[in-house]
Chain A
Amino acid sequence: MNLSVRVDQVSLEERASALATRSLKKASKVFGLRLAVSMMDLTTLEGKDTDGKVEALCYKAMLPSPRDRTVGHCAAVCVYPNLVSVAKRTLRDSGVLAASVATAFPSGQSPLDVKLHDVRRAVEFGADEIDMVIDRGAMLSGDYAKVFDEIAAVKQACGAAHLKVILETGELGSYDVVRRASDIAMSAGGDFIKTSTGKVQPAATPAVTLLMLHAIADHYRKTGKRVGMKPAGGVRTAKQALQYLVLVKETLGDAWLSPNLFRFGASALLNDVLMQLEKERTGLYPSIDDFSKD
């Protein structure tokens, strides 16, 4: 693993914003929006989450658009460990996965044994996917071995569950560090790398996503292993979602345009995508009040 890859900030941001100007219309827009729905991890990570709220979110994930049942289900529902069993028993065999954050999310400031226990319990509750956070303190102080070992240990604790590694790019300070963290996370066994917890600003940006996609491409060239990508936080509009899909297609190609390898972590995004789909279907601009909030 080469940890000295440097990132050209100016051209990275330039390329990300150049690709964002591409405009998708009509059939390709509808294709992209439907794909975005199928890639969505509907997320609720609040202290005030209840069984009822998680159930409502699960129903929404299973049937996002009751008026147009040709729109498929979302990829997963992402919750805290305590609510995984609620999600799991609501989702059953719908094809929507139950994802859980773990490892002392969102700060990750707990001893490793607590983090691992957190992961094991979430998997026991039925989580199909685990979203872990890296130790940003260790990352920033240069203790890369610690970061690597923790991810590897968590991967082991996951068992059959897929592991998404949250880098929390908003706390890493520079693109160079994000690139380094991406390489560490992939080498340590992460199935997905994910930008953010959603609790820190800035969260996902097109530039940081493009950078991580490049890291994934390099990793694939070196090892032949396909690692997934998940931007989370800050993706609110259908237009933004399409721009992210353009980044993926241009960087990694069609193989990554699948819920197996690309996800959106979002809560507000789904309704905007559904609004645009409804607009394309009926020709009428819908009102946000026509869509369920949670």
Chain B
Amino acid sequence: MEVGKAVKRVIDRVSAAEWQPPKGRLPVGKTYKMFVGGAFIRSESGRTFQVSAIADVSLADPATVNVPLGSRKDVRDAVLIAKNAQPAWWGRSAYNRGQILYRLAEVMEARREELTQSLVRGGADKTAQSEVDSAIERTVYYAGFCDKVAALLTTQSPTGGPHFTFSVAEPMGVVGIVAPPQPALLGLVSSVLPVIAGGNTCVAIASESDPRTSVLFCECLATSDLPAGVVNVLTGQAADLGVQLAKHRDVAGIDLWSDSNELRMQVERDGAESVKRVTTHDTMPTERWIDSAVGQGLGWVERFVETKTVWHPVGL
């Protein structure tokens, strides 16, 4: 990747502390790993792929790093972990789920500079700051939503007979998410949070172009009181892993952000095999994601809940 002048300037600005490489010792670089079951793991296949970005001013993080190339078995393991984590996540009080998401926002706020710098290095120099701010705001937004979803999505329908009819929203189970390549952070945050706010757990495939920032977001998740296995993030080829998610019968829904018609068709076809709920979308420019009228809302939660309708006889 070419390092433009403007980008350099932004990097200098965001690394306000003018961090110097340590004297007398080697800098310690970060190993980028996937986030599964609350732990940072390598791919079971042992394979990696290379991701380029602008090198860190500290030189501790070089321009090109190896990121795990998630495999079919990684998908299977992550789905199983998400499936096992789901009942306990849904079993928590909605209020507690909200507290946990708010805590996530706190952690992201504390790492705001780091997240921004990572996005800049990934090439999103102009929108990086507003993307991070928007991601934090969105986290607070869904934190507040957790204990309101039930009230907003539950209805009582009129019936002709002596019955009450309630329809209540329940989580679907495990949702597979293929995050858009850009924006690397906000796309992931905006697609993951409404899914877990609805009581689901998820396996998300990180942006293929900037998985570094996704891993950084996972470090926020890991320190946010979020129970292990609720959000699992794999890195690798979206086309490959998305299809594996679609083929797995334990995945109840798929949220796919991709411009590839071929991939969308295949995921829909494979998903139909096990009657998954598949939603596919074209990618959007970052400005649209930032726009709260487009990038968030009750509708985002509603996409991955199942409506359960109960008939109850009217008492005297």
Cβ-defined contact, A285 with B79, below 8 A: yes
B103 at the interface (CB under 8 A from A): no
The CA-CA distance from A80 to B26 in the complex, in Å, is 67
Contact of A290 among B76, B249, B270 (CB under 8 A): B249
The CA-CA distance from A94 to B250 in the complex, in Å, is 33
A287 at the interface (CB under 8 A from B): yes
The CA-CA distance from A289 to B252 in the complex, in Å, is 12
Contact of B247 among A283, A288, A289, A290 (CB under 8 A): A283
A286 at the interface (CB under 8 A from B): yes
Question: For residues 233 through 253 of chain B, which have their beta carbon under 8 Å from a beta carbon of chain A?
Answer: 244, 247-250
By secondary structure, the B interface counts as: helix
Cβ-defined contact, A284 with B250, below 8 A: no
Cβ-defined contact, B247 with A287, below 8 A: no
A268-288 interface mask toward B, CB cutoff 8 Å, 1 = contact, 0 = none? 000000000000000111111
The CA-CA distance from A45 to B248 in the complex, in Å, is 33
Name the CB-closest residue of B to A275. Answer: B249
Question: For residues 244 through 294 of chain A, which have their beta carbon under 8 Å from a beta carbon of chain B?
Answer: 283-290
Question: For residues 69 through 120 of chain B, which have their beta carbon under 8 Å from a beta carbon of chain A?
Answer: 76, 79
Interface residues of A, count at CB 8 A: 8
Cβ-defined contact, A285 with B273, below 8 A: no
Name the CB-closest residue of A to B246. Answer: A284
Cβ-defined contact, B250 with A287, below 8 A: yes
A285 to chain B, nearest CB (A): 4
B126 to chain A, nearest CB (A): 41
B274 at the interface (CB under 8 A from A): yes
B21 to chain A, nearest CB (A): 43
Cβ-defined contact, B79 with A284, below 8 A: no
The CA-CA distance from A250 to B247 in the complex, in Å, is 36
Residues from chain B with a CB closer than 8 A to the CB of A285 are: 76, 79, 244, 247-250
B143 to chain A, nearest CB (A): 31
Residues from chain A with a CB closer than 8 A to the CB of B247 are: 283-285
A242 to chain B, nearest CB (A): 16
Question: Which of A285, A288, A290 has the largest number of chain B CB atoms within 10 A?
Answer: A285
Residues from chain B with a CB closer than 8 A to the CB of A283 are: 247
Contact of A286 among B244, B249, B270 (CB under 8 A): B249
The CA-CA distance from A191 to B273 in the complex, in Å, is 47
Q: A285-B250, A287-B250, A287-B274 are in contact. List 13 more A-B contacts (CB 8 A).
A: A284-B249, A284-B273, A284-B274, A285-B76, A285-B244, A285-B247, A285-B248, A285-B249, A286-B249, A287-B248, A287-B249, A288-B250, A289-B250
Residues of chain B having any CB pair with chain A under 8 Å = 76, 79, 244, 247-250, 270, 273-274
Which 6 A-B residue pairs are closest in the complex by CB-CB distance?
A287-B249, A287-B250, A285-B248, A284-B247, A286-B249, A285-B76
Between-chain CB contacts (< 8 Å), 19 pairs:
A284-B247, A284-B248, A284-B249, A284-B270, A284-B274, A285-B76, A285-B79, A285-B244, A285-B247, A285-B248, A285-B249, A285-B250, A287-B248, A287-B249, A287-B250, A287-B274, A288-B250, A289-B250, A290-B249
